[in-house]
Every structure is written in C-alpha cells, then in structure tokens.
Structure 1
Amino acid sequence: MLACRVILFLAWTLHGSISCINLSPCSLLHGASTNMDVHVLSSRVLRPGDPNSAPSKAPLTVFDRFASNIYIAVLFAFSPPTPPNDALIAGLSKTLLLFPTLAGRLDDSRRLRRPCLIVGGCGGGALVVEAAASSNLSDHLPLEVSPDFQLLHPSPASAVHVFQVQLNRFACGGLIIGATAHHRVADGQSMSIFFTAWAQTVRGAFVDRPPVYDQSWLKPRCPPHCEFNHWGLEFTPLNSSSVNQIDVDPSEITNMLIRYSADFIQKLRRKAEGKYTTFETLIGHLWRKITVARRLEDRVQTMVRVSVNGRTRLKPPVPNEFFGNLVLNAYPQATAKDLIDEGLPGAAMMIHEAIRRVDDRYIQSFIDFGELYGDEELVPVYDVDGNVLSPMLEVDSWLRFRFEDVDFGGGGALRAFLPTWVPFEGLVMVLPGFGEDGGIDVFVTLLEEHAKMLRQISHSLD
C-alpha cells in the first residue's frame, strides 16, 4: 500500500543539530555530483485553528487500521526559481485548516475501545524543518537513490507529529521538499490531494479538490456479514502463535530506480497482446524478472500484494477526494515455474484477474469485518513481516495520484519525485517518469545479490 513497507531505521535527531549528506550512486539512473552538505537551521510546529478549542476523537476505520503503522516519506525536487520558505510555510498553515487530521495525533492506547485520531485542541500540530545546502541542486540531478535520502526529511524514529516536512534550500534557489506522513492517517491518494492543495494555496489559487471526510460510504450492512475470510490476508489470525519473519542487516538490501521508456512500455504491451493495462503489463514483466533474479526454485509459490484503491470500486463510488485510507490488496500468485512458463501474457492476466476480484462485494465484506472485530486488537499482516518479503512482492502504483502536477509556483519545475531509501526487501513502486519522453520509473528493493541480476535482465523482453 502506499501501503508500501517504508520501514525507516533512523537514529538521528533534527533539533539543534547539523547534518551532512554524501549522496552516492545506488541506482540505474546515474546522477552528477555526489557531495551534498545539508545543514538543519530551524524547526517549528504549526498548530492551525483555535488552540483553545475542545479536541475531538475520530476512531480509525478498519482501512486505517489495515494500513501499516509506519511513516511514508517522499521527496520533491524543484529547480529554481522557487517560492521562499516563508511563503511555503504560510501556505502550509492555511492548507492544514482544510486537512485537520494531518495536524492531529494518534492515540492507540489499550484503554480505548478502538484506536483514534485526536484533532484540535493544543496538542498535535505539524513539524516544519528548514535546512540549507551549500551546493546547487543541478549538481545532484538526476537524484540517485541513496540511504542518505533519509537526511532530507524529518526522522520518523522519534516522531510525535503525524505530518512532518523539511524544506531543503540550495544555493541556487532550488528546493527539495522531504515530507513524512503517518500511513494510518492517509493513503497515497489522500496525500496527493493534500500536496496539490498546498501548492495551490501557495500560488494563491483556488483549491479545486478539497478533502472529503464523510464516512457514510463505509457503513457496515445490517447485520454485518463477512463473505470472505480476511484473517491471514489482511490481518493476522486471532489465534496465531508463530510469526514467519526473515530479517537481514539493512546493509544487504539495495534500492534501485529503473527507467522504462515509453517506447519500451509499448513493446511490453505488444508482447502481452495489448489486453491489459500498462500497470498490469509492467508489473507482470517485473514479477517474472524478479523471480528469475531471486533464483526461486520451480515449486516455490510466489505472490504479489498489489495495492488497489477502493474508492471507485464501491457502489456508489467514493470521491477520490475522500481523505483517509481506502485501500485493499489483490493477491495474484503462482509457482515460479508456472509464472515463467506462461510468459508475460499469463503474468499480466493473473494480475488483472486478482485486481478485478477486489470489487464492491469484497470491500463491503471487509467493512463488515471491521464492524464484527473492530474491538479486537487488529494487527495487519504488514506489521508481522520481517524486512525480507521474498518470495513475495509488494507493489504500489503512484501513476494516477498526480504528484507530478504539484506546482508551488515561482517558475521552477518539478525535477524529481520519489520515495526515500527503504531498508526493506521486496518492494516495487511505480512512479511517473521524468525523462524527456515521459516513460515510467520503477523503484525496486532487493537483496544486493539479486539486484545485480535484475540490473542485467530488467529490460530483456524474453
């Protein structure tokens, strides 16, 4: 899911510190200079609204509780000229009035019947950090995936705020915005609405897609009825006594950014007989290549957890502006041998059919599950994974979220948009490309030995 398993092992703190970064090449896209010094200058907490107002409690929905108990971190890089920090911060303060949950605080203490988000009052707020770099942004473009990306955004390790942002200002006036948001407050669709609204507010434009908080679409049936088994797929079974975790030292895990040109994507679609979407085709291709790179034995069952936005699948559909979490997974699976033998058309078909099964009926069953078991301590399957998913993959697409349309004004251009470094194996994220011909960028995390093989075969049409 933007449920992506972005588990961040961070130990540094921002307050009163000076941090230095050395970016080193770790991707398939080769950047320019690798020396970037970033100095943290200040931090503050924005608390929009009346601090004397009485706080309100909003219980987390079953979709919120399905989301991983982690922060998702993303980076936006803008070439100069860009608006000054004061304008960005003032715009953020105004935007948070429309998105109060991003300035709330999570309360999942056992004394509560159900975990909730506390909004309003004197607590909560959003953390804003200002930082400066002595170099020009152009010295570091295109950005290469690096563990040091973690220094471009506030650390989630000791976070007390559900939304944090760091404004990294370069000598040329360029800007990298590094932001982290707690996944149980919002999914990728929701955060795209927020970032677009923030940019519009800074430009002085009308916010054309304000958030929707109405949860009437998520009401359980009367009586609630689970037509599908959600234990084991979405949440760990209540009677589960053992957890199958695989952990390695994070240094053994590599992140890479693979670029697929628009022309190559068309070749893939022709090879898949043109029957499936670009996303289904590309993920089918990557699923097969990663299976080969991992050297999985023929009989090993491999599965892909594919994030599916439930907004348009419910009947009636939920507006895309619904703010919160409304994502479930599809689960295509096959033995390694069958996946390879059936070729790209077969892999794309398995993904297509699995996504199709996440329909209104399935989502309503999940809503009813939340009504029946909501008072239990629900633990999503993500929270019991180790940091190695193999032989599984977890896939998320950001292609339809319009992150690439975020424009704070000033005349500069968005030059890069990507997640931070992820010390977790088995993640695939599909991103809009920033090459001259468009195309698609794919962020992949694998063990280093498997990443070496994938680099060799990622563009093979076999």
Structure 2
Amino acid sequence: MGTLYQSPPEPTIQDLKVAIQDSTLIYPSQLETQNKSNIFLSNIDQVLNFHVQTVHFFQANPDFPPEIAVARLKNALEKVMAVPYDFLAGRLKLNHQTGRLEIECNASGAGFVVATTEFSLDEIGDLVYPNPGFMQLIVQGLEKFDDQPLCVFQVTSFKCGGFALGMSTNHVLFDGLSFKIFLENLASQAFDDKPLAIIPCNDRHLLAARSPPQVTFPHPELLKLKLPIGEEDAPPVFDCKQDNLDFKIFSLNPNDISHLKEKAKIGGTKSTTKITGFNVVTAHVWRCKALSCVDENNRDRESMVLYAVDIRPRLKPPLPASYCGNAVLSAYTSAKCWELEDEPFSKVVDMVADGAARMSDEYARSAIDWGEVYKGFPNGEFLISSWWRLGFDEVVYPWGKPRYSCPVVYHRKDIILLFPDIGGASSNGVNVLVALPSKEMEKFQTLFHKYLT
C-alpha cells in the first residue's frame, strides 16, 4: 500500500536540447484596452508577486502540426487579451500614493516564444516524474524583455510532431481555479467559431478590505511583514538549500485513499467532519512530515500545517464561481507532535476538517482585513499545495486534450506538493512530492508506509 514512485529505468534526459526559434511580444487584437483604468489587486493578490510555471504536453495530431498550433495559440491569446483578459497584456506597477500594487492595463503585451527540441515526446521519459529538464520548456529569466510581462508562453515542438506549451504567469493574475477557466477560454478561442467558454468575473473589489478594517479573529497562520507591500520579494524561501534535500514521490492509488477513509472512521470522526480524499491525504502527510523530525526530546513541539481553501462559495453573498483572481486563503491546523503520534487517525482528520471549516465568511473577511493592517504572508511549518483536482488536462483544444499537465517542480522543504497521475482527476490517485534532508526523508518514508497499514 502506498508505493514509492519509481523513476524511469533509463536515465532521465535532463538536457532537452531546446533551441529558441523566435521570441516576441504579442498584443491584444483590438486597441481598446489602452487608456483603461488600473486593475485593483486585493490583499490576497498583493502578496503573490511571483511567477507560477506549468507545462502542458500534447501528443502529435496530424491535423494540427506544431506550426499550426502556434498560429492558433497566438491568435487565441490576441483575442482573449482584447477584452476578457486585457490585464494579461498589462504591467505590474506600484501606486506610490496608496503603497499598493496594481495592474496597469497598457497593452504592453505578453511574451511568446517558439522553440524546438531534438527529442520526441516519448524519448523524454515519464512525464509524471519531475524532470529538471522541463525547466527548459518555459521561459527562464524574463530579462530578455525590456520590461516584465505578466505572462510568457513557450511552445516547444518535438520531432514526433507533439509539443509542449509552457506558461509562466504571475500569481497576481490567477489562482488555480481561475487559471483553469483561463485555459478553457484560451482553448475555446483556438477554435474557429467558438464563444468564450466562461465569462470571467474581473471585479477584484469584491475582495477589498472593509473600511475600517475589522480583524475579528487571531490569525496565527499569518506572519507580519516589516517591509511595505510592493517592496518585498516573493514569499521567504526556506533556508535549506535544494542541494541538501532528497526528493521522493509517494503514490497513493484509489485503494490507498479508500483505506485511509476507512481508517478515519475508526475511533470515530466527528459528525461534522467530511471524510474526503483531500482531508485524509492531508492528515496522513501532515502526521508523517511533523514526526519526521521528532524524537523523545521534542514531542511537545507544535506543528502547524497550511492548506488552501477556496473562499468563493464561503462568502456571503458567494463570489461568482468565475471570479478571476486569487480567492484562496490558507487554512491551518496545529497540534503537538505527541498528539499526532498517539491520537487515532480519526482525530487528525478531524483537525484538518476543522481547519477548513473555520474559513467562514467572517473569518475570510478578517484575514483580508488583517492584510490591510499588517501586510504579511501565510506562515506555518509547511504548506500542502494541491494541484490534484484542478483538471488542467481536461481542457479541450482543437488538437485534443493535454497528455499531461503539471507544475514545473522546485524542491522546498516547506512545501509538499499533491499532483495527479496521468489521467488527471479521472485516475483518482495522487502523487505526493516531498523534499527533505536525507535523515528526515528516511523517517518520513518509514512513517508513510507504517500509517498506511
């Protein structure tokens, strides 16, 4: 139960020998985006000024060779940037009067790169296994542009006729759910005569802080900043260098997840607890991670895990499901390490479920107002970042669905990544990417299998 994901038997090709053919900026198909007012960014958006990178692999389709797909994608981007996503062609600016970041809708363009590789899609190996070579499939270092586009696209064609679409997008633009909607709209505009799949809701004032701010809850999951918003870098990187970390992928198949759900019933979960796949996997991973660095001398240590909660349906009134922007806050739960070791699994699942249930309308508004007053980042022992059910590989393009869609993985001790297997949400299994110092990894692996029995 719960297998250690094995890398491909052959050595993974890490140098994909990518050659850039063209690098340019593309612009909205209409000029009406100019002279628009700046886009307000909520306090959730404000702290997410860093790029998120994803790669979407497509198999060869004789009706859509890469050069045709490139033309279709360029045209689709020009169309979506004309009206519904005009801010994609904008630039991030600091409003010195308010001290807040804004998006200036100035039609300065998005980056678009066309590249080739000497390999076929099948030759680059297992797409699920995080290959450092995939970094070559996205634009690295935006300094090649005079100013920094908020999004850059790279289409890399393989010699088999397949291709990879690499996207680097500033997190202020989208959370995972709104990025999925963007992909659906982009795909729709790559067809000849399709309307937008979903009209995005671009009113980010819906998540503005109250005036005056009302911080009605303590927020131990948030850490105050000393620097004004707009002057800080991306969220603090854990002080453990990647070279000092081992990384492994642990695969949970549907039977493993069902087993965890049954295990959660032993000892009795609370009647209000939802025994979901996410809750049991999060509880299992939290337990293993917290105890991987525990001995008899520090069992009283407090462990706090953070995990994202979509607040769209939790607000009153609810946000539109198509809200475009970041509408996700960090839920948290914490416990002494001895509790995680000694209490039944059902209690750990209760704690995870309670952490999510805490995210009511008032709690979310309090967290947003806290950002207005203190300006800070989420803060915990580690974050579980779930790409498990976002469904990027369910999006239908003219040339078909992606064979696989994934984040470009970087290894950090303070982030544990949940991502799907090939087949996406329909596979119902999940892969857990963990990066830890070697001794902690050995213990994590032992605990991961122990608590699955």
TM superposition score category, shorter chain reference: 0.7 to 0.9
Other-structure match for 2:103: 117
CA distance in structure 2 between the aligned counterparts of 1:437 and 1:215, rounded to whole angstroms: 34
Instruction: Answer yes or no: is the 8 Å Cα contact 1:136–1:171 preserved in 2.
Output: yes
Is 1:30 aligned to 2:8, yes or no?
A: yes
Is 1:446 aligned to 2:424, yes or no?
A: no
Deviations 1:284-326 (A, max 9, x none): 1111122333446312211111111111110111112111111
Is 1:182 aligned to 2:205, yes or no?
A: no
Is 1:43 aligned to 2:27, yes or no?
A: no
Other-structure match for 2:327: 326
CA distance in structure 1 between the aligned counterparts of 2:348 and 2:210, rounded to whole angstroms: 35
| AA of the residue aligned to 2:106 | G
CA distance in structure 1 between the aligned counterparts of 2:9 and 2:323, rounded to whole angstroms: 37
Deviations 1:48-100 (A, max 9, x none): 13188324212321111243x31111111122215522122222222223212
Q: CA deviation at 1:448?
A: 4.1
Q: CA deviation at 1:120?
A: 2.6
Q: CA deviation at 1:103?
A: 1.8
Other-structure match for 1:7: none
CA distance in structure 2 between the aligned counterparts of 1:52 and 1:408, rounded to whole angstroms: 26
Deviations 1:182-228 (A, max 9, x none): 11222111111111211122134332212111245335556542212
Is 1:145 aligned to 2:123, yes or no?
A: no
CA distance in structure 2 between the aligned counterparts of 1:115 and 1:218, rounded to whole angstroms: 15
SS of residue paired to 2:429: strand
CA distance in structure 1 between the aligned counterparts of 2:337 and 2:222, rounded to whole angstroms: 23
Instruction: Answer yes or no: is the 8 Å Cα contact 1:27–1:258 preserved in 2.
Output: yes
| AA of the residue aligned to 2:313 | T
Q: How does 1:10-409 map to 2 (within 5 A)?
A: 28-30=6-8, 34-35=12-13, 36-48=16-28, 49-50=30-31, 53-67=34-48, 69-81=49-61, 84-97=69-82, 98-108=84-94, 110=96, 112-121=98-107, 123=108, 125-143=109-127, 144-156=129-141, 158=143, 160-204=148-192, 205-215=194-204, 217-221=206-210, 224-230=213-219, 233-236=221-224, 247-273=239-265, 275-295=274-294, 297-369=298-370, 373=373, 378-381=375-378, 392-409=381-398
SS of residue paired to 1:40: strand
| AA of the residue aligned to 2:244 | E
The structure-2 alpha-carbon separation of the partners of 1:264 and 1:44, relative to structure 1 and needing over 3 Å to count, comes to same
SS of residue paired to 1:306: strand
The structure-2 alpha-carbon separation of the partners of 1:157 and 1:428, relative to structure 1 and needing over 3 Å to count, comes to farther
Unaligned runs of 5+ in 1: 1-25, 383-388
Other-structure match for 2:232: none
Q: CA deviation at 1:245?
A: 8.0
SS of residue paired to 1:80: coil
| AA of the residue aligned to 1:409 | P
Q: Which moved more, 1:190-199 or 1:87-96?
A: 87-96
| AA of the residue aligned to 1:445 | A
CA distance in structure 1 between the aligned counterparts of 2:89 and 2:347, rounded to whole angstroms: 45
Unaligned runs of 5+ in 2: 229-234
Q: CA deviation at 1:430?
A: 2.2
Identity of aligned residues (%): 25
Instruction: Answer yes or no: is the 8 Å Cα contact 2:240–2:413 preserved in 1.
Output: no
Other-structure match for 2:231: none
CA distance in structure 1 between the aligned counterparts of 2:199 and 2:246, rounded to whole angstroms: 38
Q: CA deviation at 1:170?
A: 0.4
Instruction: Answer yes or no: is the 8 Å Cα contact 1:399–1:431 preserved in 2.
Output: yes
CA distance in structure 1 between the aligned counterparts of 2:70 and 2:7, rounded to whole angstroms: 30
The structure-2 alpha-carbon separation of the partners of 1:156 and 1:237, relative to structure 1 and needing over 3 Å to count, comes to same
CA distance in structure 2 between the aligned counterparts of 1:53 and 1:66, rounded to whole angstroms: 26
CA distance in structure 2 between the aligned counterparts of 1:162 and 1:239, rounded to whole angstroms: 23
Instruction: Answer yes or no: is the 8 Å Cα contact 2:39–2:103 preserved in 1.
Output: yes
Q: CA deviation at 1:348?
A: 1.2
Q: CA deviation at 1:345?
A: 1.5
CA distance in structure 2 between the aligned counterparts of 1:56 and 1:254, rounded to whole angstroms: 47
SS of residue paired to 1:414: coil
Instruction: Answer yes or no: is the 8 Å Cα contact 2:46–2:100 preserved in 1.
Output: no
CA distance in structure 2 between the aligned counterparts of 1:235 and 1:306, rounded to whole angstroms: 15
CA distance in structure 1 between the aligned counterparts of 2:338 and 2:59, rounded to whole angstroms: 47
SS of residue paired to 2:262: helix
Instruction: Answer yes or no: is the 8 Å Cα contact 1:199–1:407 preserved in 2.
Output: yes
Q: CA deviation at 1:236?
A: 0.8
TM-score by length of structure 2 reads 0.83
Q: Which moved more, 1:44-53 or 1:281-290?
A: 44-53
CA distance in structure 2 between the aligned counterparts of 1:361 and 1:320, rounded to whole angstroms: 19
Q: CA deviation at 1:244?
A: 9.9
CA-based RMSD = 2.9
Give the number of equivalent residue pairs. 418
CA distance in structure 1 between the aligned counterparts of 2:288 and 2:221, rounded to whole angstroms: 25
The structure-2 alpha-carbon separation of the partners of 1:147 and 1:295, relative to structure 1 and needing over 3 Å to count, comes to farther
CA distance in structure 2 between the aligned counterparts of 1:407 and 1:31, rounded to whole angstroms: 32
CA distance in structure 2 between the aligned counterparts of 1:105 and 1:244, rounded to whole angstroms: 23
Instruction: Answer yes or no: is the 8 Å Cα contact 1:54–1:120 preserved in 2.
Output: yes
Instruction: Answer yes or no: is the 8 Å Cα contact 1:398–1:429 preserved in 2.
Output: yes
CA distance in structure 2 between the aligned counterparts of 1:369 and 1:173, rounded to whole angstroms: 51
